[in-house]
Structure 1
């Protein structure tokens, strides 16, 4: 890996293990957190810590956080608040003046930008988000593309699972759950990290890439097994004549990056 320093905006559930992996490869890593108590945790992992709350009076901190890094990983999802679109766009726009003309950016996005098509969904589709969070993420994608052009790669991850994120808890004990016969889209955290590293190692810039496991079991099958495997009551599903869904294609990640998923079958993860 040619990079000497990388800044990771958001060292949470995904960003922290990514940072640890990069440090183990000899990369200097600057990592941000919004929680003061996590500063010592980042330091113990060999990460240069920054307490950074976007949207507040922290311009000098932003400047120092991004300075001298060849690559910036923006791993900062929007908060579920009423004015999510405005706030999230302003937060990301606040760091743009401090990104130099030579720095590359990876934006960790979400497949929530895609509408339900009842078919396979590829990166080339004209996105039409159906929820507020998807609208906010899509707006930030557009903003970053306009400002950064070919120096930006967007990775759209589907549902994140692995380790302490046990999907069996998500729908346990729920009644009359919809879309039981819809295929699901999930990805293990290890594959997320490996995909980010692949983009960096391959110098794959100016791309939009989906991250999703190869297989798409039915929602009712996946969540029933997942709940039972951790001793919880499985959800019950309503039988419907019509379901709505999308199947996230991961073909581009394989063709552009030569990527092979470590966890292609979600049913083997639960």
Structure 2
């Protein structure tokens, strides 16, 4: 198949490389000119694409000629206009996909569409309620555009991504008096993300929504302490608080539908 990966970043590039190894023809986009050669070296047809400007760029028109589009663009949390701009960008991509008769869009969504608290959530991946953050609201709007598009879709709500060179403790090192030390983490390893998308494609799981989150949900306090030790960096410290609530995102539907077993089931076991 011809698969276009819109956004060959930390997740999109290893996914594109995996799909190349499965004999698919892969077109990949990046927003930086220097990265074009990296994509080409991996056997990916490389395109320079920046939303929303590149939508009307005729020099990259054949990027959109594909069987499947993997749509992997971050909303950008610090963008004050995120609620309007992110869904608008997704709408432009969807319109372009219709124009080119793309039959299936796989969308990299986020568990930030779920409320911050609420016990075990997302068990049936239905409408999630009030998103924890504005970025989650923006992503939820984008999901709605996709669901109403008439194009086959698969929405993958990824938890916090970690693995290899990327780990959330690196952003937390040395911070003090943090809240919610008992709140469970919802994370997923890069390798599991790549595996899941590959399985979605090979099993043709269309018009479904899945939470992509590992089995284990250790408390933040314990998780960061353990990870900091393994990286040899200063751990963050947490206030002694009563922890007013928690959220665990369920992965049961994913495991059942795909017969999927996580390679990294518990973030505590693999802190680097």
TM bin, normalised by shorter chain, reads over 0.9
Name which of 110, 126, 129 aligns with 1:127: 129
Q: What is the match of residue 222 of structure 2?
A: 221
Residue 114 (structure 2) aligns with = 114
Counterpart position of 1:81: 79
Contact 1:43-1:49 at 8 Å conserved across structures: yes
SS of the residue 1:29 aligns to: strand
Matched, 1:21 2:23: no
Give, in whole Å, the separation in 2 of the partners of 1:133 and 1:207. Answer: 22
Deviation, 1:61, is 4.8
Equivalent residue, structure 2, for 1:93: 91
CA distance in 2, matches of 1:61, 1:142: 30
Deviation of the 1:168 alpha carbon: 2.7
Query: What SS does structure 2 have at the residue aligned with 1:99?
Result: helix
Within a 5 Å distance, the mapping from 1:18-97 to structure 2 comes to 18-59=15-56, 60-61=58-59, 63-67=61-65, 69-79=66-76, 80-97=78-95
| Contact 2:182/2:243 (<8 A) preserved | no
Query: What is the distance in 2 between the residues matched to 1:57 and 1:188?
Result: 31
In the TM superposition, what are the counterparts of 1:196-207 in structure 2 within 5 Å?
A: 196-207=197-208
Match of 1:104 in 2: 104
Counterpart in 2 of 1:163? 164
- Match for residue 142 of structure 1? 144
How far off is 1:57 after superposition?
A: 5.0
Contact in 2 for aligned 1:54/1:92 (Cα 8 Å): no
Return 96-105 or 74-83, whichever deviates more: 96-105
CA RMSD in angstroms comes to: 1.4
Aligned length: 265
Provide the secondary structure at the position in 2 that maps to 1:95: helix
Q: Contact (CA 8 Å) 1:184, 1:216: kept in 2 or not? A: yes
Secondary structure at 2:5 match in 1 = strand
Distance 1:255 1:62, change over 3 A: farther
* Aligned counterparts of 2:54 and 2:178: Cα–Cα separation in 1: 44
Change (3 A) 1:125 1:92: closer
Residue 253 of structure 1 corresponds to which residue in structure 2? 254
- Asked if structure 1 preserves the Cα contact closer than 8 Å seen for 2:186 and 2:214, the reply is yes
Question: How far apart in 2 are the matches of 1:137 and 1:206?
Answer: 17
TM-score, L = length of structure 1: 0.94
Determine helix, strand or coil for the equivalent of 2:172.
Answer: coil
Cα distance between partner residues in 2 of 1:13 and 1:154: 19
